Amino acid sequence: MTTDFLRRDFLKKTGLLTSGLLLHNQMLSAFAAPAAAGKLKVGVIGCGDRGTGLLKIINDLPDKYEVTALCDELPFRLTNALKVKSAAKAKTYLNYRALLDSRQVEAVIICVPLYLHFEVAKAALLAGKQVYLEKTMTYDIPQALELVQLARQRPHQTVQVGHQYRYSPLYYKVKEMIDKGYLGKVTQIDCRWDRNGSWRRHVPEPELERKINWRMYREYSGGLAAELLSHQIDFINWAFNTHVDELFGTGGIDYYKDGRETYDNVQVMARYAQEGMVGNFGATCGNAYDGYLFKLKGTRGTISLLIDEGVYYPEKDTLKEYGTVDGVTGATKITWDKNGGIPIQTGPLKDGSWYALNDFHRTVHEKKLPDSNVFTGAKVACTVHMANQAIYNHTIERWQSEYNV
């Protein structure tokens, strides 16, 4: 038998071929919003790196959005945002409440510092707007619970939370694989999001330090847990329909002794008791070797994920059940990549924000609940707040029944 024949035989028997878990390019169109829906008039509140980044994504969605308004309290950011094609004709505001008063704004994309998420999102809901709110949904647990209650009172308004990475078709397929048992019983999840850089932004004038480098200060920021690890926390909650039961953590300002207050090196260990899983979450600003690392380990196999790539590694017993093993060396004759894994997604993928903004457009027009919504966002916000309490206070934090929104 040839290796190609064995590979196809394995895929056929395990269902990886016939169930469509290996995506093809033509399937990506299924994740686009209906073409018949009209343009959404949107205002962007917060025109820093993330706000202008989403404006560039909107460049590729001309039939979905019309950017009618921009807001930022720093004029140079508005000037920069107006250079983006999708925002060239937008009206500018220095005060977000004035933008919310505009009848030319149906929806808002909120990209302000974390400590302002709740304030601006609440005002937007009360103004009758549809809301796309960047992650993490809120700064703390009380704000998350209050935003849920407000959104419940306004069922015809959408609140989508910007955990954009899990909107990728790749992550939907990974969830499908988990649901269909390809991993068996998952007991361990390892997550990292590392970088080698200070995370600081250039400050043109000293008095703007806290406005521009808000991520450095605990009054405004949830640090690495909120800015990076929240994405992986969100995916675990969603994929397993679960939440953390208890967690503890540690960290420190271990390299960048530059006056920052948020830690540049953190590690959190979480127990998902109802699922029988342990989750390990880490991030550092002092080494970029691992970068984004996400591994789900089960009794039948492991999935290793990057943002836009995924590989399935069957356990030995899984291969014995379906594959062919060399009787002399004990090595499988079936190899899919140089490490013996099966690629889950081989076609090109778009940026996760493209899929997320498509979904926002669709759910607003169809009056449906987004996949990443105020309820899932609240679970993540509660977990991130718990993680920071554990990291900074050296405590074990436990999930409370009132967090079950």
Taking only the tens place, the pLDDT of each residue in 160-181 is 999 999 999 999 999 999 999 9
Beta strands in 212-335 (DSSP E): 246-252, 265-272, 277-284, 292-298, 301-305, 310-314
pLDDT value at 15 more than 80: no
Could you tell me the pTM of the whole model?
Answer: 0.90
Q: What is the pLDDT confidence band of residue 27, given thresholds at 50, 70 and 90? A: very low
The string of pLDDT tens digits covering residues 184-216 is: 999 999 999 999 999 999 999 999 999 999 999
Residue 144's contacts (CB-CB under 8 Å, 6 or more residues apart) are: 118, 137, 138, 377, 378, 381, 382, 385, 405
Q: What structural domains and CATH numbers belong to the chain? A: 3-24+167-347+374-403 (3.30.360.10), 30-165 (3.40.50.720)
Contact between residue 57 and residue 353 where contact means Cβ atoms under 8 Å apart: yes
CA 369/CA 154 separation, integer angstroms = 12
Mean pLDDT of the chain: 90
The string of pLDDT tens digits covering residues 240-277 is: 999 999 999 999 999 999 999 999 999 999 999 999 99
